[in-house]
Amino acid sequence: MSKTAKKLANLLVTRKLPDAVEARAARDYRAQLNPQDKNYTAEDLAELSQGMDGLLIASTNRMTADAIEGLAKGVRIVATFSVGIEHIDLKAAKARAIVVTNTPDVLTDATADQTMLLLLAAARRAWEGTAMVREGRWLGWSPIQLMGVHPGGKRLGILGMGRIGQAVARRARPFGMEIHYHNRKRLPKDQEQGAIFHQTAEDLLKVSDFLSFHCPLTPETKKFLNAERIKLLPQGAIVVNTARGGVIDDEALIAALKSRRLAAAGLDVFEGEPKLNPGYLKLDNAFLTPHQGSGTVETRNAMGFRALDNLDAFFAGKAPPDRVA
């Protein structure tokens, strides 16, 4: 990064980030940090962006058209600490000539690991077992206690076979799972690694003993897994979601879990999070984690460094490598 860029670039960091990321931001920018980790509103951002050249935001910062319009005129770039960009109105950013970047690639392995954790925990009734031990209800081993589902020989349906979907497939194969997938485009044979492609998502559902979501949230995928599509899944199927909460119709999934039409679910993301549908909390066959798919020190540092790499490039007069608008 050039000395000129260091001198001129004022950076607003909108959430508390890992120490190593904040240290680099403070070293290379006149960075205004958020040590209290306040989740800034649009009104806060309008005020705090005064005098700023760029923003380093997170997915919790809802950059609507109004929020972007309210930013100080000097803001030229918004780097998001996330792969997803649905929290940013890209059209509004383009209208303001504000560059937008994200942090792809670096979340892949951590999110795939979280997917397997959810898959196995849901299949093996981990929440029920943990609660039994912690609440003092475990009376000792029994031949029929907490019998779950063995993943070996089962069909794993992956909806969205991008980087994360492929990483999940690589992890699932050693468990003896047969990989099926639907994607907007079929993968080249060498990338499929024996996975079976389905032309439609509905065809994929019919063979998915386990269904794992790895697709973006779009108008087409919003509430994709509704009551009608749940009927297409095999009896006793297990649903896993580390993508976006909005791809699932919560009421439909809760009803299917409650009736045991579906055996279990492992969920890391929720519509309206952190205020998830309270119906999930009453289910013993829902294994729930708090959007921690990328939650490792290594991954969160890499996300921050990737965001800063994009800012460095921009303020050095170069094309940011991860520009999305």
Q: DSSP states of 142-185 as a string?
A: -TTTT-----TT-EEEEE--SHHHHHHHHHHGGGTPEEEEE-SS
CATH of 108-288, one of 3.40.50.2000, 3.40.50.720, 3.40.50.12780, 3.40.1280.10: 3.40.50.720
Catalytic site residue 182?
Answer: no
Residue 1, pLDDT > 60, answer no
Residue 163, pLDDT > 80, answer yes
For residue 213, the 8-state DSSP code is E
pLDDT band with cut points at 50, 70 and 90 for residue 7:
low
For residue 218, the 8-state DSSP code is -
**Cα of 211 vs its chain's centroid, Å:** 16
Give the model's pLDDT for residue 279: 98
Give the model's pLDDT for residue 282: 97
Mean pLDDT over 92-111 rounds to 97
CATH 3.40.50.720 domain span(s) along the chain = 3-106+297-315, 108-288
Catalytic residue selected from 124, 155, 198, 244: 244
Catalytic site residue 244?
Answer: yes
To the nearest whole number, what is the mean pLDDT of the chain?
96
Mean pLDDT over 155-176 rounds to 98
Mean pLDDT over 274-280 rounds to 97
Question: Are the beta carbons of 257 and 237 closer than 8 angstroms?
Answer: no
The model's pTM is 0.94
Give the model's pLDDT for residue 159: 98
Mean pLDDT over 239-267 rounds to 98
CATH of 3-106+297-315, one of 3.40.50.720, 2.102.10.10, 3.40.50.300, 3.40.980.10: 3.40.50.720
Catalytic site residue 150?
Answer: no
Q: Tell me the pLDDT tens digit for each residue of 107-131.
A: 999 999 999 999 999 999 999 999 9
Query: What is the per-residue burial (b if ≥16 Cβ within 10 Å, else e) of 58-67?
Result: bbbbbbeeeb
Give the model's pLDDT for residue 2: 46
Closest CA to 175 of 146, 147, 149: 149
Mean pLDDT over 16-41 rounds to 97
Catalytic residue selected from 273, 298, 306, 323: 273
Give the model's pLDDT for residue 5: 44
Percent of the chain having pLDDT more than 90? 98
Give the model's pLDDT for residue 4: 45
Question: Are the beta carbons of 54 and 75 closer than 8 angstroms?
Answer: yes
Catalytic residue selected from 125, 155, 214, 291: 291
> What is the distance between the alpha carbons of residues 161 and 167, in angstroms, rounded to a whole number?
9
pLDDT band with cut points at 50, 70 and 90 for residue 39:
very high
Residues in contact with 10: Cβ distance below 8 Å, sequence separation at least 6, in sequence order: 29, 30, 32, 51, 52, 53, 54
Tokens 């809802």 correspond to 62
Give the model's pLDDT for residue 3: 46
Q: Tell me the pLDDT tens digit for each residue of 202-220.
A: 999 999 999 999 999 999 9
